[in-house]
Amino acid sequence: MGEIAALAMNMTWKCGLAELPFGGAKGGVAVDPGTLSHNELERLTRRYTAEILPIIGPTKDIPAPDLGTNPQIMAWIMDTYSMAQGYTIPSVVTGKPVIIGGSLGREEATGFGVAYVTEDALRRFKRYSDTVRVVIQGFGNVGSYTALKLGDMGIKVVAVNDVYGGIYNPNGLPVEELLRTVREKGKVGDYKGGDKVTNEELLTLECDVLIPAALGRVITKDNAPGLRCGMVVEGANGPTTAEADDILRERNIPVIPDILANAGGLIVSYFEWVQGLQEYFWSREAVHDELKKRMKSTFVRVADYAEKENVPMRLAALMLGIRQVSRAKKLRGLYP
């Protein structure tokens, strides 16, 4: 219960920071979906949906997927809710398959968002040049799309890894080719165009930007002193421990916090909801453009606020998120 409440609170500030008309709530079923058959999973999902029917809805509370849920599950929730109403209501959930009302561009949203923010941070902190080199930890959904978009922007990705190890090429990796290889063969290490590095080595490669894009708690008090990056952009959730955060601050290595850097998925969730409400669906380009605009304006607000208040970006982002919520609450009043 406590963890769920904490996640809900975090989501509230994250939505506030991104200025989305969403609150933040979390719920779920305590089950390992991997142990269920397709049929059991469907029935469990439909039952759970039936139980929460009175408190969800396109203008009430809109479930979005998280760990352990996938587009198929969101489709069942949507279908169960819709059948109870008697007609199709796509906007009751986000994370749906595109064919039944999901948003184009959702898959790549978080990664692209990380890339947009990285570009802005490089410019803001005057570290942008032709020779910028980026190291990305993780090459899953977030890491790979971050790499692809950075490539589009002409920013070199020099190292990536997966659970089995990483590869490094100081002249930059050909991201599309690498991705193709990984999709075909399964591992980053199957790509032959670079030197192998261990996952520990990767974190401490010399680079302009280090983007942890896989798990939480990977930059710790143990490795933080040895990082050789110009800045950290948190693509994953909570990759930096509190102690590591202190060390990086002392070392003057800026950290672009997760609440800002990886908000792309949340923002496109919001777009999906809006498209469903309007029953009008956007092109992939429109989604990318709108996402970019929002990521960048949020980055500027956070960076300006951090500068003005002389606090780290992480604190600035949190303060802005909370301020947005509290101002709205104050205007509306507590009623009843």
Interface with its own copies (CB under 8 A), residue total: 49
Q: In this chain, which stretch among 57-65, 116-124, 226-234, 311-319 interacts with its own copies, using CB under 8 A?
A: 57-65
Angle, nearest 10°, between helix axes 38-52 and 71-85? 50
Q: Please say which residue, 104 or 218, places its beta carbon nearer to its own copies.
A: 104
Nearest to 318 by CA among 9, 75, 4: 9
| Euclidean distance between the first and the last CA atom of the chain, given in angstroms as a whole number | 26
Say how far apart CA 87 and CA 103 lie, in whole Å: 20
Select the residue interacting with its own copies from 24, 63, 65, 90 (CB under 8 A). 90
Q: Which of 12, 69, 80, 262 binds its own copies (CB under 8 A)?
A: 80
Cβ atoms within 10 Å of 205's Cβ, excluding its own: 18
Does residue number 316 form part of the binding site for its own copies (CB under 8 A)? Answer: no
Q: Which of 33, 36, 42, 125 binds its own copies (CB under 8 A)?
A: 42
In the complex, what is the shortest distance from the CB of residue 63 to its own copies, in angstroms, rounded to a whole number? 14
Beta bridge partners of 197: 166
Asked if 129 and 166 touch (Cβ cutoff 8 Å), the reply is: no
Beta-carbon count within 10 A of 23 CB:
13
Rule CB under 8 A: is residue 327 a binding residue for its own copies? yes
Residue 193 corresponds to which tokens in the numbers above?
């165009």
Using rule CB under 8 A, residue 300 touches its own copies: no
The Cα–Cα gap between 67 and 69 comes to 6
- Secondary structure class of 140 (helix, strand, coil): coil
Stretch of 3-11, 38-46, 146-154, 257-265 lying at the interface with its own copies (CB under 8 A): 38-46
**26 an active-site residue?**
yes
Q: Applying CB under 8 A, which residues contact its own copies?
A: 1, 21, 42-43, 46-47, 49-50, 53-55, 57, 59-61, 71-72, 75-76, 78-80, 83-84, 86-90, 97, 99-101, 273-274, 277-281, 324, 327-328, 331-336
List the catalytic residues: 26
